[in-house]
Structure 1
Amino acid sequence: MKKADIFEFYRRLAELNPHPETELESGNTFQLLVAVVLSAQATDVGVNRATRRLFAEVTTPEQMVALGEEGLKQHIKTIGLFNTKAKNVIALSEALIAEHGSEVPADRDALEKLPGVGRKTANVVMNVAFGAETFAVDTHIFRVGNRTGLAPGKTPLAVEKKLDKETPQPFRVHAHHWLILHGRYTCKARTPECWRCVEVDLCAFKPKTPAPKGVKVEGGG
């Protein structure tokens, strides 16, 4: 995609949603970190359902350690891979207490050293909590980057580097949220809703998906 088209691509997403936010619910940076760790291979809706009661009780790493692995499992057992995630969340809570004064570090390398925290999770926390210009490539962003031609790449890291290189100001801070939401609600995995997409003329995907029968498309787009 050409530079002018990339700018226009983001401009349209920004016009639709000037202040995009993560759909994961949290009350502080520690809870955000926990929620992002829990969200791997799970939906934000499912994670939020599980963490509402948990986060009403647990707001600090110390409280999480006190809850313990078995106690945490009772809260998150509806989430996929909950056994491994419970072990990681308790371990990362212990690491925050021992190594970071119970605070979530504002550094990607330090975050990635925590149990259960990979590059994508670190990027989300850096962006949402600290306003860093990071690009957390999940399945939605990987699909949108490749399908549209915005940031083609064979691996999530390749797509991330392409986005980092090509995404212009003033769109860099919010870019990954716009792309996630676009992939989640419009550029869907099985059947992209091209017929109602604001990017349809900029996108490399062919053939475009027509509107379902009986659905009226405004403006003929």
Structure 2
Amino acid sequence: MDLFGETNNWVSNLNPILTKYKDRRHPLEYKNLYQLMVMVVLSAQDSDANINSIAPALFSKYPNLESLAISNNEALFPYISKVTNFGTKANWLLEIAKILQKDDNIPLNMSSLIALKGIGRKSANVILRESNIPAKGIIADLHVIRVAPRIGIIPEIQDGNKTKKQLMQVLPKVIWGEIGMAISFLGREICRPNPNCNDCPITTSCKYYNQK
């Protein structure tokens, strides 16, 4: 089997997971764009499950950007203290809220999103993807970093930006919007550190499975 996408038709090979996970919502349990943006900022170096657990109390206290914009660290800390690096993230959120002021002002383009503190290209792509805006890149979270090389799409790289760039070189733009989250969901549910290959829909084109 030819590896690393040189001659493989990865659109065809990955179609089973594109179909399986098409339009699947992100695991962050948000109810609107404001909540999604806040939760994406908080989720850096933390688990979606942890962010989901603190979200109800946080958004009960701060239901919109207007309420967050008039808050401060001392008031916000108790609601996000279980989040990794919560002090820095509080500063980011308060600055974003003071800049945007209202939920209607949340931008939905890459350049404006990454201009906000705490929102990099990966986070911006999550926000755009969940808002049905065409992708400007491929989402490469920890699951994608682990699973994409295992499948054989790219060589193993322990770096999100390099993984994203490699994937963008190999995969056509037409699938960028969904393939990152499709691989991520595969990694969350099936292709875990101890993979359950019997349930995987792409074993015929998987490097790991075919080299076992």
Distance in 2, matches of 1:67 and 1:49, equals 21
| Deviation (angstroms), 1:178 | 0.9
Alignment of 1:86-97 (within 5 A): 86-97=90-101
Aligned to 1:109: 111
For 1:96 and 1:55, the matched residues in 2 are separated by: 17
Structure 1 unmatched ranges of 5 or more: 209-221
Q: 1:147/1:114 Cα in 2 relative to 1: closer, same or farther (>3 Å)?
A: same
Q: What is the CA-CA distance between 1:86 and the residue it aligns to?
A: 1.3
- 1:72 aligns with 76
**Structure 1 position 151, deviation (Å):** 3.4
Q: Measured at CA, do residues 177 and 55 of structure 1 come closer, stay the same or move farther in structure 2, by a change above 3 Å?
A: same
For residue 28 of structure 1, what is the aligned residue in structure 2? 32
After TM superposition, give the deviation of residue 165 of structure 1 in Å.
Answer: 3.8
Output the TM-score relative to the length of structure 2: 0.84
Gaps of 5+ in 2: none
Q: 1:82 to 1:200 in 2, by over 3 A?
A: same
- TM-score, normalised via structure 1 length: 0.81
Q: For the residues of structure 2 that align with 1:17 and 1:113, how far apart are their CA atoms? A: 30
Judge conservation of contact 1:26–1:55 (CA < 8 Å) in 2. no
Residue number among 141, 144, 148 corresponding to 2:147 in the alignment: 144
Deviation at 1:140, TM superposition (A): 0.7
CA contact (8 A) 1:141 1:176 kept: yes
Contact in 2 for aligned 1:144/1:150 (Cα 8 Å): no
Query: Who is 2:162 aligned against?
Result: 158
Cα distance in structure 2, aligned partners of 1:176 and 1:130: 14
Shift of 1:101: 8.4
Which string of whole-angstrom CA distances, capped at 9 and with x for unpartnered residues, describes residues 99-143 of structure 1?
x98611122222112111222112211221242223121111111
What is the aligned-residue RMSD (CA, Å)?
Answer: 2.4
Identity level (%): 26
Aligned partners of 1:68, 1:29: CA distance in 2, in Å?
22
Q: What's 1:124 paired with?
A: 126
Is the alpha carbon distance of 1:169 and 1:123 closer, same or farther for their aligned partners in structure 2, counting shifts above 3 Å?
closer
Aligned-pair CA distance for 1:170: 5.7
Counterpart CA distance in 2 for 1:101 and 1:199 is 40
Match of residue 202, structure 2, among 196, 199, 204? 199
Helix, strand or coil at the partner of 1:174: helix
Separation in structure 2 between the aligned mates of residue 35 and residue 28 of structure 1, nearest angstrom: 11
Change (3 A) 1:170 1:64: same
State whether residues 61 and 102 of structure 1, in contact with CA within 8 Å, keep that contact through their aligned partners in structure 2: no
**Would you say how many aligned residue pairs link Structure 1 and Structure 2?**
205
How far residue 164 of structure 1 moved from its aligned partner, in angstroms, is 2.8
- SS of corresponding position for 2:70: helix
SS for the counterpart of 1:173 is helix
Moved more, 27-36 or 127-136: 127-136
Question: Matched residues in 2 for 1:129 and 1:19: separation?
Answer: 11
For 2:63, the equivalent position in structure 1 comes to 59
What secondary structure does 2:71 align onto?
A: helix
Q: Shift of the alpha carbon at 1:174?
A: 1.9
Q: Measure the CA separation in 1 of the matches of 2:103 and 2:197.
A: 48
In structure 1, distance between residues paired with 2:86 and 2:103:
26
